[in-house]
């Protein structure tokens, strides 16, 4: 007789086992869909915008990047890339692109009068020289608006057709326009402005210029009263075949001189120009152009002096205080350390503004209280201004050096000092032969970083002196305390004659100088480590 063994009950597979993996919560899936949809929408918008702007290669790069990002996050694989992509995107946008664009701009004439393309420059020149055609017919006109864009809707008196155009879009026929007594008064998706609406923006309406066609020589439609439009033609004519500009009144031919301007036989140029590649001209002009060479070399020398003195003074003071407060015999060491770190706790730009007020010649605390009402021109005399900059930077920088020096001193084994004392070394010898070499090994990278920071310490210069006092003998805007970065800012954004190409060329030189000094210093640091 055989006994049948009942089958063992099998456990029902869980939902996780049935799927072979853990189910993703529905909330996470929805969030992923929303985020990817936003990425896709931004990618499509950026691609179309770049394409419309006339940048096909950046548009193609944007489309490819969007597709790759979507593929990575939709795929169930590529897990490492899902974590790396956000950082790579920010690195490319905020670092790589900025560096590449700066480098490219340094080899162009980009700046005031040369900030666009040749086509835009031609349009601007023709528009600037436009005058109303005496026998121009009156075109019944209606002012329309869509968002922030204004448009003219005109009625052709010859054909009766309605045509619509904006400052960027030439006149185009509107098939489904609304008419009232033979005059076009409305168009789909556009809002017709009332007389009251027009009065509120009458300056914009009067200055609005709508091109007649894609050919800039055909002129434009303008209106003096928002009721009728008239044809305006330029006294210049652009010859697209030769690329030259012709003055219709005098017959003078202005040719493309290859440097971004139309130039006449007498050497006269017409503004605005356009952006072109100029090679190393921005770099060579720093030495060959007399109006720039003197100020640039003066700023270069002061920049090195400022950076070196800033590092030297802050390090000496920070290390001295660290040595004093590292002595165990010193009482209330924690209190002193806390007080010494206070300047480091305040934002640097606020401290610079406070010091600017304290050093005021007439009302500053330093002159009124410390020097009993003296009128010392701390910020208006060149050498005193330089001394003031170094002094304020010492106040701002020594707590950092004090902090890192304290940490490095506490990391030095006490046995080394005891052994040196047993061998008969004095306190100064222990500092010079034992502590200082070990400190330099640990602090050299920080000193190099501090030099690079002070080489580009824009906040202090801008907030304390603004680069002044200004050198009135210089042909450019430059002051006694300007360093390269503040000089670059003035070249790029200071008043009229802004020259972005020259400013980016100086930025490239700053990068080369700092990178070279850092590379040499780090190599010396490695040598020092090997010796120790």
Q: How confident is the model at residue 1 (pLDDT cuts 50, 70, 90)?
A: very low
**Confidence at residue 263, expressed as pLDDT on a 0 to 100 scale:** 94
- Is the pLDDT score of 208 beyond 90? yes
- Is the pLDDT score of 17 beyond 70? no
**Confidence at residue 303, expressed as pLDDT on a 0 to 100 scale:** 96
Cα torsion angle, 358, 364, 370, 376, sign: positive
**Helix or strand holding residue 237 (H, E):** strand 236-239
380: left (phi over 0), alpha (psi -120 to 50) or beta: alpha
**pLDDT tens per residue, range 156-169:** 988 889 999 999 89
Q: How confident is the model at residue 19 (pLDDT cuts 50, 70, 90)?
A: very low
**Confidence at residue 348, expressed as pLDDT on a 0 to 100 scale:** 87
Neighbour-count burial of 23, counting CB atoms closer than 10 A to its CB (0-12 exposed, 13-18 middle, 19+ buried): exposed
- Tell me what percent of the chain is helix, strand and coil, each rounded to the nearest 5: 55, 15, 30
Q: Using the 8-state DSSP alphabet, how is residue 217 labeled? A: G
Residue of 290, 274, 280, 293 whose CA lies nearest to 508: 280
**Confidence at residue 510, expressed as pLDDT on a 0 to 100 scale:** 93
Point out which residues pair with 277 in neighbouring strands: 108
Distance CA 316, CA 519 (A): 23
Instruction: Over range 451-475, report the average pLDDT.
Output: 92
Alpha-carbon torsion angle 47, 50, 54, 60, nearest 10: -40
Instruction: Over range 321-343, report the average pLDDT.
Output: 85
Range from 106-115, 374-383, 430-439 carrying the lowest mean pLDDT: 430-439
Share of the chain above pLDDT 70, in %: 94
Distance CA 514, CA 449 (A): 10
- Is the pLDDT score of 281 beyond 50? yes
Instruction: Over range 381-395, report the average pLDDT.
Output: 95
DSSP codes joined into one string, 426-444: -HHHHIIIIIHHHHHHHHH
**pLDDT tens per residue, range 243-252:** 999 998 889 9
Q: How confident is the model at residue 134 (pLDDT cuts 50, 70, 90)?
A: confident
Instruction: Over range 352-372, report the average pLDDT.
Output: 93
**pLDDT tens per residue, range 37-73:** 998 999 999 899 888 877 788 889 889 999 998 988 8
467: left (phi over 0), alpha (psi -120 to 50) or beta: left
Report the mean per-residue pLDDT for the chain.
88
Instruction: Over range 18-24, report the average pLDDT.
Output: 56
**Confidence at residue 526, expressed as pLDDT on a 0 to 100 scale:** 67
Q: How confident is the model at residue 527 (pLDDT cuts 50, 70, 90)?
A: low
Q: How confident is the model at residue 353 (pLDDT cuts 50, 70, 90)?
A: very high
Helices 500-531 and 281-288 sit at what angle, rounded to 10 degrees? 90
**Confidence at residue 256, expressed as pLDDT on a 0 to 100 scale:** 92
Find out whether 270 and 245 touch, Cβ atoms under 8 Å: yes
Find out whether 110 and 73 touch, Cβ atoms under 8 Å: no
- Is the pLDDT score of 8 beyond 60? no
Residue of 483, 203, 439, 480 whose CA lies nearest to 318: 439
Residue of 411, 389, 401, 412 whose CA lies nearest to 341: 401
CB within 8 A of 416, min separation 6: which ones?
434, 438
**Confidence at residue 15, expressed as pLDDT on a 0 to 100 scale:** 42
CB within 8 A of 286, min separation 6: which ones?
292, 293, 296, 502, 505, 506, 509
Point out which residues pair with 231 in neighbouring strands: 221
Instruction: Over range 439-457, report the average pLDDT.
Output: 89
Find out whether 215 and 228 touch, Cβ atoms under 8 Å: no
**Confidence at residue 16, expressed as pLDDT on a 0 to 100 scale:** 44
Residue of 424, 445, 444, 354 whose CA lies nearest to 392: 354
Distance CA 186, CA 146 (A): 12
Q: How confident is the model at residue 273 (pLDDT cuts 50, 70, 90)?
A: very high
Q: Highest-confidence range of 61-75, 378-392, 463-477, by mean pLDDT?
A: 378-392
Distance CA 529, CA 532 (A): 5
Q: In order of start, what are the domains of the chain with their CATH numbers?
A: 26-105 (1.20.58), 120-270 (no CATH), 288-531 (1.10.3720.10)
Instruction: Over range 496-505, report the average pLDDT.
Output: 88
């Amino acid at each position: 007789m055989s006994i049948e063994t009942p089958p063992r009950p099998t456990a029902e597979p869980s939902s996780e086992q049935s799927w072979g993996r853990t189910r993703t919560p529905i909330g996470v899936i929805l969030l992923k869909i929303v985020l990817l949809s936003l990425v896709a929408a931004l990618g499509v918008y950026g691609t179309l915008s770049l394409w419309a702007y006339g940048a096909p290669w950046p548009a193609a790069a944007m489309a490819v990047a969007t597709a790759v990002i979507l593929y990575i996050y939709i795929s169930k694989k590529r897990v490492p890339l899902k974590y790396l992509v956000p950082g790579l995107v920010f690195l490319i946008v905020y670092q790589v692109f900025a560096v590449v664009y700066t480098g490219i701009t340094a080899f162009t004439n980009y700046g005031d009068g040369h900030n666009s393309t040749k086509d835009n420059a031609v349009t601007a020149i023709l528009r600037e020289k436009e005058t109303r055609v005496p026998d121009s017919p009156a075109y019944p006109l209606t002012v329309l608006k869509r968002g922030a864009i204004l448009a003219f809707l005109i009625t052709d008196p010859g054909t009766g057709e309605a045509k619509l155009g904006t400052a960027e879009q030439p006149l185009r026929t509107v098939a489904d326009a609304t008419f009232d007594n033979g005059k076009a008064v409305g168009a789909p998706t556009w809002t017709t402005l009332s007389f009251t609406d027009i009065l509120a923006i009458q300056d914009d309406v009067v200055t609005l210029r709508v091109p007649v066609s894609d050919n800039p020589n055909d002129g434009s439609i303008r209106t003096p009263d928002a009721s009728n439009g008239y044809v305006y033609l330029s006294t210049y004519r652009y010859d697209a075949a030769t690329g030259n500009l012709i003055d219709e009144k005098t017959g003078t031919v202005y040719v493309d001189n290859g440097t971004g301007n139309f130039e006449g036989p007498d050497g006269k140029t017409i503004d605005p120009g356009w952006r072109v590649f100029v090679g190393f001209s921005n770099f060579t002009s720093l030495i060959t152009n007399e109006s720039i060479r003197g100020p640039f070399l003066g700023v270069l020398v002061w920049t090195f002096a400022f950076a070196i003195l800033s590092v030297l003074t802050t390090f000496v003071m920070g290390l001295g205080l660290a040595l004093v407060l590292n002595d165990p015999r010193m009482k209330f060491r924690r209190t002193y350390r806390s007080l010494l770190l206070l300047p480091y706790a305040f934002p640097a730009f606020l401290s610079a503004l406070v010091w600017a007020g304290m050093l005021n010649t007439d009302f500053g605390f330093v002159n009124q209280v410390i020097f009993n009402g003296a009128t010392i021109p701390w910020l208006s005399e060149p050498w005193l201004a330089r001394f003031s900059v170094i002094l304020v930077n010492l106040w701002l920088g020594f707590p950092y050096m004090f902090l890192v020096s304290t940490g490095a001193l506490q990391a030095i084994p006490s046995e080394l000092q005891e052994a040196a004392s047993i061998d008969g070394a004095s306190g100064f010898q222990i500092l010079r032969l034992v502590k200082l070499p070990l400190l330099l090994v640990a602090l050299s990278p920080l000193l190099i970083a501090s030099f690079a920071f002070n080489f580009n310490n824009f906040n202090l210069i801008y907030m304390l002196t603004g680069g002044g006092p200004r050198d009135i003998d210089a042909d450019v805007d430059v002051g006694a305390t300007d360093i390269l970065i503040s000089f670059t800012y003035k070249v790029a954004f200071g008043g009229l004659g802004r020259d972005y190409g020259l400013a980016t060329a100086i930025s490239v030189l700053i990068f080369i100088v700092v990178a070279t000094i850092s590379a040499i210093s780090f190599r010396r640091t490695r040598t020092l480590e090997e010796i120790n």
